[in-house]
Amino acid sequence: MRTTPHALDLDLVAGKPSLASRTAGVVGVLTAVWRLYRNRCQIARLHDLDDRQLLDMGLRREDLNEALTSSFFDNPGSYLTRASRNRVNLFYRGVRHD
């Protein structure tokens, strides 16, 4: 009598996602949207600073306007981080932006 290797049966039928996974997905999306909204509100508050204070952070008012007019689902904080880092790099190369 010949024996065959044991087969592992997996039930991989594509069924409906569970309530827990659907809830986690919805919560994840809502959390991301809330974070984007909150970031935009905080960036809008940067308009209260004067130009010298913004420049101390490596930003210009134009950077704020561009960040806030970007698509809602683009992270404006990432844009401001890149703008600030680019301005700092130019500063250390001797190019002034004030």
What is the pLDDT at residue 17?
82
Q: Which pLDDT tens digit goes with each residue over 37-71?
A: 998 899 999 999 999 999 888 899 999 999 988 88
* pTM for the structure as a whole: 0.61
Mean of pLDDT over the chain: 84
Reading the block at residue 5, the tokens are 């290797």
Question: 15 or 13: which carries more pLDDT confidence?
Answer: 15
The total of other beta-carbon atoms located within 10 Å of residue 53's CB is 11
**Residues 6+ positions from 59 with CB-CB distance below 8 Å:** 46, 80, 83, 84, 87
